[in-house]
Structure 1
Amino acid sequence: MSSEGFHVHGPHDHAVEHAAHGSDGFSNNIAVMTAILATVGAAFGYLGGATQNDAALFKNNAAIDKTQAANSWNYYQAKSAKQNLAELAMTLPGVDPKRYEAEVARYKHEKEDIKKEAEKWEESSKEWNHKSDEAMHKHHQWALATTAEQIAISLAAITLLTRKKWMMGLAYGVAGIGVAMGALAWFAGH
């Protein structure tokens, strides 16, 4: 145990540290590639998290507007019930129907406005749901790009340990796929 505490290094940590202090060009290239991939992967991860948060916010707004629509429809039903009672009262013997005609007309007019309001909230809820679905689609694209970069980093570590050049080509290929996926996610959002 050193004065700075107990340190446990994995084989990859040791190899990267050795490459950083050595003059081996192969190892240096892999170390630099790993650092670049980690940076790109972190950026992709951040963008993926941001779009996931947007999707959750949009879904919340959709739920709020759907609740507003339900409240408006409940109000519409209450006005319908009052209209029905006024119409029923008009048919009762000994009751002046003229007294209730104005109420029936008022309830019909009020229901039209309430119906428009309820439909407006429903449409708004659909729009928020659509935005949420789009944001989740972008999130999945960022997540795939991030995963590809993480796989490329793992392949770079294996390359460093095995010193196989074909493995380095594979790591570069997977990293390229991740960058392409990130570019698609970026352009899909703009």
Structure 2
Amino acid sequence: MSEDGFHVHGPHDHELEHAGQHDPKGLAGQLAVITAILATVGAMFSYMGGATQANAGLFKNDAAIKKTEAANQWALYQSKSNKQNLAELAAALVTSDAQKAKYTAEVERYKVEKGEIKHEAEKLEEASKAFDEKSEAQMHEHHRWAQATTALQVSIALAAIALLTKKRWMESATLVMGGLGIALGAMAWFHF
């Protein structure tokens, strides 16, 4: 205030005085609260989206490891088949009964070993398939979290537009889009 009691202040000073004297009500106050809530929920959804994407990658890696182990077992199975075939050929070509018995015993041993190897290879292939399915489920969930996060980001952008334009219908659009984002997040949470 000047010495003679007359004070002139700028529009910015006037707005600051009014902002300090009044509770944030109306459109601006509502949008501030809505935006804060949407941003908080969006941050949680974003975290979940990242976590499910990481899990999907880990499961896919486990599937590849099991697939490689299964391939190794099938290679061993093929090796035993080749040895069995050679033992069968040897049994057919030898004339001595002792040699024939030796090679026939080898054929039977290879048959047993091949059965065990085949069982292990099939078990590893099933484990690989299970990890692939888990990875796919996590990627589906990741996409839901990403959709939910995107909807919340659009909702926050609509809140900014509503604040700038001071249009109540834009506030409604903000709420609708935020509701869609939360619904998508719920679908991700319940694995839909």
TM-score, length of structure 2 as denominator length: 0.85
RMSD: 1.8
**Partner of 1:38 in structure 2?**
39
Which segments of 5 or more consecutive residues in structure 1 lack a partner in the other structure?
1-16
5+ residue gaps, structure 2: 1-15
Q: Secondary structure at the match of 2:190?
A: helix
Runs (4+) of structure 1 moved beyond 6 Å? none
Paired residue for 1:131? 134
C-alpha separation in 1, matches of 2:30 and 2:143 = 31
Which protein is bigger by CA-based radius of gyration? 2
- State the AA in 2 paired with 1:81: N
Aligned residue in 1 for 2:167: 164
Q: Which residue of 2 aligns with 1:186?
A: 189
Identity %: 57
1:121 Cα offset (Å): 0.1
Indicate if the aligned counterparts of 2:94 and 2:100 stay in contact, CA closer than 8 A. no
Q: Which amino acid aligns with 2:179?
A: G
**How many residues are matched?**
172
The alpha carbon displacement at 1:92 in A equals 1.8
Distance 1:151 1:30 in 2: 14
1:24, distance to aligned residue in structure 2 (A)? 4.8
Distance in 1 separating the partners of 2:157 and 2:183: 18
1:177 maps to what in 2? 180
Partner of 2:122: 119
The offset of 1:25, in angstroms, is 2.2
Helix, strand or coil at the partner of 2:28: helix
Q: Partners of 1:136 and 1:85 in 2: how far apart?
A: 48
Give runs of aligned pairs for residues 1-190 of structure 1, distance below 5 A. Answer: 23-94=24-95, 96-188=99-191
Q: CA deviation at 1:45?
A: 0.3
- Partner Cα separation in structure 1 for residue 158 and residue 19 of structure 2: 18
Instruction: Give the whole-Å Cα distance in 1 for the aligned partners of 2:190 and 2:111.
Output: 50
